[in-house]
């Protein structure tokens, strides 16, 4: 049920569309403060600044075509109509799709982790971390060696769209099998809630003698996470254009450079691709064939985003493109290679195989480990 909190003495200036039968009104006092409803139904005052910051972040993001909103601090944002404030309870405090839900959870998770490990302690851990490996050089070397897209093999136990992919999940064994099969790099999912991943997996793989550079596959919403990923041994991180406004991508890319991480900037549609192509210094772009809001997978998305002027611009800028998601067969690999990718990111089709080394050979239609 929708609940409106109202300030003022008359209802006459509220748009009639807001005054439907599912809404209830609660006149509250005239003191100028913001009021949020708690999960137990009680109300609490919250600092006006916090709402302003989150709301203006969302407004800036929306002007760039970003649909994913950031989590409101303690409930739905207030709306102002004339002298009134009112709250549409189900509009602002309920994620609209799975990606928004993941991002809101990540906002909360990161806030808690930051409390336990402030940035200054993380910076020390970054200094102590093993030196970063060159992610892009590994992709290029593999492409030159095999003449086929370099493989970023994903260590993925589960996903929101497919559930558990592999019950007997030993991340280190899987990573070693991928390396043996000819993977150029690894992608390790670190989100626990939706993917059953962890930073312990990433660290364990890094410490097990695997030499492939490692992408930390996370939902990055805060620069703090970049330092955390590097401190845990990551060589690259994913920056998702559907979540991050341009300024965040520019800022985070700079931090990545500073601490030796390679950013893989992920796009899914033309608008995101165009935004990223306007940003200087991006060397690696991933085209996700999966729509992260609907789970729909269509590998022709890679081709669509590499056609025409966009493809030309990518060549001029010498950007390496990674085709991501939904790749299962040699024909799929050939299709995205033909479209212009020099690397692919694959999870499900190889992690589900009893022996992931053989899974890689089946994906490419040949053994790429010795090519
Ligand atoms: O995989 C999902 O269900 C998913 C849902 C919501 C956000 C992200 C999601 N996946 C991340 C990825 O894009 C894939 O793990 C990656 O590209 C590999 O895809 P696949 O080869 O299809 O496993």
Burial status of residue 130 (CB atoms within 10 A of its CB: 0-12, 13-18, 19 or more): exposed
Dihedral of the alpha carbons of 220, 222, 227, 228, in degrees to the nearest 10: -60
Atom of ligand 1 nearest to the CA of 324: 17
3-class secondary structure, 149: coil
Identify the helix (H) or strand (E) that includes residue 52. helix 48-63
3-class secondary structure, 268: coil
Q: What's the Rg (C-alpha) of the chain?
A: 23
Q: What is the per-residue pLDDT across 168-195, written as a single tens digit (0 to 9) for each?
A: 999 999 999 999 999 999 999 999 999 9
User: Does residue 154 have an active-site annotation?
Assistant: yes
Contact indicator for 45, 34 with CB cutoff of 8 Å: yes
Closest residue to atom 16 of ligand 1, CA basis = 325
User: Does residue 325 have an active-site annotation?
Assistant: yes
- Ligand 1 pocket, 89 CB below 6 A? no
Separation of 288 CA from ligand 1 center, angstroms? 8
- Ligand 1 pocket, 160 CB below 6 A? yes
Tokens of 209: 């003698």
Say how far apart CA 343 and CA 284 lie, in whole Å.
10
Q: Which of 85, 218, 272, 324 is catalytic?
A: 324
Q: What is the per-residue pLDDT across 69-123, written as a single tens digit (0 to 9) for each?
A: 888 765 545 666 666 666 555 566 788 899 999 999 999 999 999 999 999 999 9
Q: Which of 85, 93, 100, 156 is catalytic?
A: 156
Least reliable range by pLDDT among 37-51, 117-131, 165-179: 37-51
Q: Which residues contact 116 (CB under 8 A, 6 or more apart)?
A: none
Band of the pLDDT at 254, cuts 50, 70, 90? very high
Say how far apart CA 170 and CA 340 lie, in whole Å.
34
Closest residue to atom 12 of ligand 1, CA basis = 325
Say how far apart CA 48 and CA 221 lie, in whole Å.
22
- Pocket test of ligand 1: the residue of 325, 332, 343 to mutate, having most ligand atoms within 8 Å of its CB, is 325
> Residue 44: beta bridge partners?
36
What's residue 8's pLDDT?
A: 28
- Ligand 1 pocket, 191 CB below 6 A? no
Mean pLDDT of 53-59: 74
Maximum separation of any 2 CA atoms in the chain, in Å: 78
Report the predicted TM-score, pTM, of the whole model to 2 decimal places.
0.83
Band of the pLDDT at 26, cuts 50, 70, 90? very low
């Amino acid at each position: 049920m929708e609940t409106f909190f109202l300030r003022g003495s008359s209802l006459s200036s509220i748009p009639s569309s807001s005054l439907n039968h599912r809404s209830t009104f609660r006149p509250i006092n005239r003191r100028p403060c913001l009021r949020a409803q708690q999960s137990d139904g009680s109300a609490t005052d919250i600092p006006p600044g916090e709402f302003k910051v989150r709301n203006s972040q969302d407004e800036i993001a929306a002007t760039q075509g970003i649909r994913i909103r950031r989590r409101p601090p303690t409930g739905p944002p207030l709306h102002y109509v004339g002298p009134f404030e009112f709250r549409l309870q189900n509009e602002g405090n309920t994620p609209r799709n799975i990606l928004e839900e993941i991002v809101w959870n990540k906002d909360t998770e990161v806030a808690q982790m930051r409390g336990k490990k402030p940035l200054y302690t993380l910076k020390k851990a970054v200094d102590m971390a093993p030196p970063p490996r060159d992610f892009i050089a590994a992709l290029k070397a593999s492409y030159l060696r095999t003449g086929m897209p370099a493989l970023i093999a994903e260590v993925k136990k589960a996903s929101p769209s497919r559930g558990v992919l592999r019950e007997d999940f030993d991340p280190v064994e899987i990573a070693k099998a991928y390396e043996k099969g000819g993977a150029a790099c690894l992608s390790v999912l670190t989100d626990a809630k939706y993917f059953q991943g962890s930073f312990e997996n990433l660290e364990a793989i890094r410490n097990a003698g695997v030499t492939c550079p490692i992408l930390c596959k996370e939902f990055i919403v805060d620069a703090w996470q970049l330092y955390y990923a590097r401190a845990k041994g990551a060589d690259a991180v994913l920056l998702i254009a559907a979540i991050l406004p341009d300024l965040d991508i520019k800022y985070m890319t700079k931090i990545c450079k500073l601490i030796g991480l390679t950013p893989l900037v992920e796009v899914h549609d033309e608008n995101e691709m165009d935004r990223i192509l306007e940003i200087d210094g991006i060397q690696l772009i991933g085209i996700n064939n999966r729509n992260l809001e609907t789970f729909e997978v269509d590998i022709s998305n890679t081709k669509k985003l590499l056609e025409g002027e966009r493809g030309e611009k990518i060549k001029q800028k010498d950007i390496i493109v990674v085709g991501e998601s939904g790749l299962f067969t040699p024909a799929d690999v050939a299709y995205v290679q033909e479209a212009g990718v020099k690397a692919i990111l694959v999870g499900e089709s190889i992690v589900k195989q009893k022996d992931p080394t053989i899974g890689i050979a089946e994906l490419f239609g040949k053994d790429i480990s010795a090519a």
